[in-house]
Chain A
Amino acid sequence: MISGDKIKEIESLALRIRKHIIEMICAAGSGHPGGSLSAADIITVLYFYKMKHNPKEPNWPDRDRFVMSKGHAAPVLYSALAEAGYFPISYLKTLRSVGSSLQGHIDMLSLPGIEMSTGSLGQGLSAANGMALAGKLDKKNYRVYCMIGDGESQEGQIWEAAMTSGHRKLDNLTAILDNNKYQIDGKVEDIKGIEPIEDKFKAFRWNVIKCSGHDIKSIISAFEEAEKTKNKPTMIIADTIKGKGVSFMEANPKDFHGRAPTKEEKQTAIEALCKLENL
């Protein structure tokens, strides 16, 4: 059982990560806050509780792997890597600037700790399958994690990959669907609904777990159940809110999919997040 203190620690890390996301996107003048904030709690649990990894040895062969298939959510991953010690936190403000390793979309060659380059939606789950297959072949017991978006799930390749993971019984793979209900043009359900998404993955021979994507305990128990599941990959459908933690973004997820906050908006957001931290 996880202690209350540990949960508090993860929650406060997730808040810091949210602040980094806002700061760095504002500094860059562009980027994707909505889908970074919705993923913040899950990513924090992965990097600070669940995954075996070592910032001092990013290529440690036995490390767990994480593939961020929705590569536009780069800021949440960069923030987690910086907090974990892969590079200095002060480097976050170079996001999207010429010569920076913090590319607008994730680039594995420019930054240690990144497992796969993404940005073109739909490809990451296949790559995660490849890593899980390699793990089985090499009889390693590392796990592979992969986050996909709900809008991204409209891509055909997601379903090609889902069929592969199910068919090959990749129980060393845990995928997370950041189910924040929005994509660029509006609500996923209005544009091209993906429901019933649980049934879809079940039909593709996955073990499916639902969790509340902003509740640390719920996220952890989903990951633990996934780890115990044999002969099937697990999809965690995480119920999330786009822009989570910043009320004006939560209220306007369409606007804040891919727009940077202005300086004033940033100030408001940071103040609100600081208040949450002191609760």
Chain B
Amino acid sequence: MKNKAATRDAYGKTLAELGKINNNIVVLDADLAASTKTGIFAKEFPERFFDMGVAEQDMISTAAGLAACGKIAFASTFAVFGSGRAWEQVRMSLAYTRLNVKVVVTHAGITTGEDGASHQANEDIAIMRVLPNMTVIVPADYIEACKVIKAAVDFHGPMYIRLSRIATPIVYENKDYNYKIGQGIVLKEGKDAVVFACGIMVAIALEAAEALKSEGISTKVVNIHTIKPLDKELIISSAKETGAVVCAEEHSIIGGLGGAVAEVLSENHATPIERVGINDVFGESGKPDELLEKYGLTAGHIISSVKHVISRKK
């Protein structure tokens, strides 16, 4: 797991490739094309790219109009603006209408780093997954992000796809696998506890599981890339197998993956759960690695949560 790459780079590259084979794809951005990487598509297909300027609400509803005329519309900006500023447009013009618009956002979570709290979306999964008809995806790495963007073109309906700014470890190096929206992936088997992770926390969870192994603790690691629709079966069966659950996400502990897993398990198979995530606070400026440490998102934090949740088993 030495190689690193950013999921937003996967987006830019894949989108431009898909643009060649699918004339129906149109792309919108809100003055962040260089950062979200839609600029690569813009350069190759200027007639199918619309820079809407700093107007995220207009961008989302315009994408809806394009989709209503049969286009596959990708709309991109930073996560905080795509989910927050335009939330009601996503609700009314995309979710309610089930129009074929993919809101692909970058700079999600605390690893946005130096820009600080105003730019660190730690609440977006919660406010997107609450919307009926929305599909919410957080790819684990560069390889998976490429697959997700391809899958998004073949999937009809609104989606929220959450990407990162920084280069993060490749989980799926040299591994070809069949990606399916809504289907979690077991990356490592284990019997003492299970870690459900999404996004950049998948690689960190694998690192934690390795370390736990040397201490004699067997930890299952599952990549829950699709937060909605959630792979309930896999979550319930893994909880039954291990009897102890840790959720890890670069998002608030409220309402994200941890919240979704807690909802499912409390109704189907009550299991002790610990949530690793941002503890209901805003972030701050700093280097991504320093922030992950300060805000509790490292392998060390997952390790102590796994130990603690195992101690809570009856």
Contacts and interface: CB of A to CB of B under 8 A. Distances in A.
Interface string B73-97: 1000000000000001101110011
A109 B69 contact: no
B65 A126 contact: yes
B67 interface: yes
A99 B96 CA distance: 16
B52 interface: yes
Task: Identify which of B65, B67, B92 gathers the most chain A CB atoms within 10 Å of its CB.
Answer: B65
Nearest to A128: B65
Contact of B97 (A117, A128, A134, A135): A117
A61 to B, nearest CB: 8
A116 B47 CA distance: 24
Contacts of B47: 137
Interface stretch (B53-61, B259-267, B294-302): B53-61
Given A120-B88, A137-B26, A131 B57 contact: no
A272 interface: no
B96 A134 contact: no
Contact of B66 (A61, A115, A122, A133): A133
Interface in B23-65: 26, 47-48, 50, 52-53, 55, 57-58, 60-65
A109 B66 contact: no
Contacts of B60: 126
A89 interface: no
B71 interface: yes
B167 interface: no
B64 A160 contact: no
Interface centre among A115, A124, A134, A163 (most CB of B within 10 A): A134
B270 to A, nearest CB: 36
Given A116-B97, A123-B92, A127-B93, A160 B66 contact: no
Contact of A160 (B58, B73, B92): B58
B98 interface: yes
B117 interface: no
A131 B93 contact: no
A164 B60 CA distance: 13
Given A119-B92, A127-B93, A164 B66 contact: no
A193 interface: no
Contacts of A161: 58, 61-62
A131 B97 CA distance: 15
A129 interface: yes
B89 A131 contact: no
A127 B65 CA distance: 4
Contact of B65 (A109, A131, A157): A131
Contacts of B69: 130-131, 134-135, 138
Contacts of A108: 68, 97
A107 interface: yes
Contacts of A85: none
Contacts of B68: 108, 115-116, 127, 130-131, 134
Please classify how large the interface on chain B is, using the bins under 10, 10 to 19, 20 to 34, 35 or more.
20 to 34
B70 interface: yes
A101 to B, nearest CB: 15
Nearest to A122: B57
B55 A163 contact: yes
Given A117-B92, A120-B92, A163-B53, A130 B62 contact: yes
A156 B66 CA distance: 21
A107 B93 CA distance: 10
Contacts of A124: 61
A138 B65 CA distance: 14
Contacts of A156: 57
A233 to B, nearest CB: 13
Given A123-B89, A134-B69, A163-B53, A129 B98 contact: no
Interface of A: 61, 67, 107-109, 115-120, 122-124, 126-135, 137-138, 156-157, 160-161, 163-164, 167-168
Interface of B: 26, 47-48, 50, 52-53, 55, 57-58, 60-71, 73, 88-89, 91-93, 96-98
Question: Can you list the 9 inter-chain pairs with the closest CB atoms, starting with the nearest?
Answer: A130-B65, A126-B61, A134-B69, A160-B58, A127-B65, A160-B55, A130-B62, A130-B66, A131-B65
Given A119-B92, A130-B65, 14 more contacts: A107-B96, A116-B64, A126-B57, A127-B61, A127-B62, A130-B61, A130-B64, A130-B67, A131-B65, A131-B68, A133-B65, A134-B26, A137-B47, A161-B62
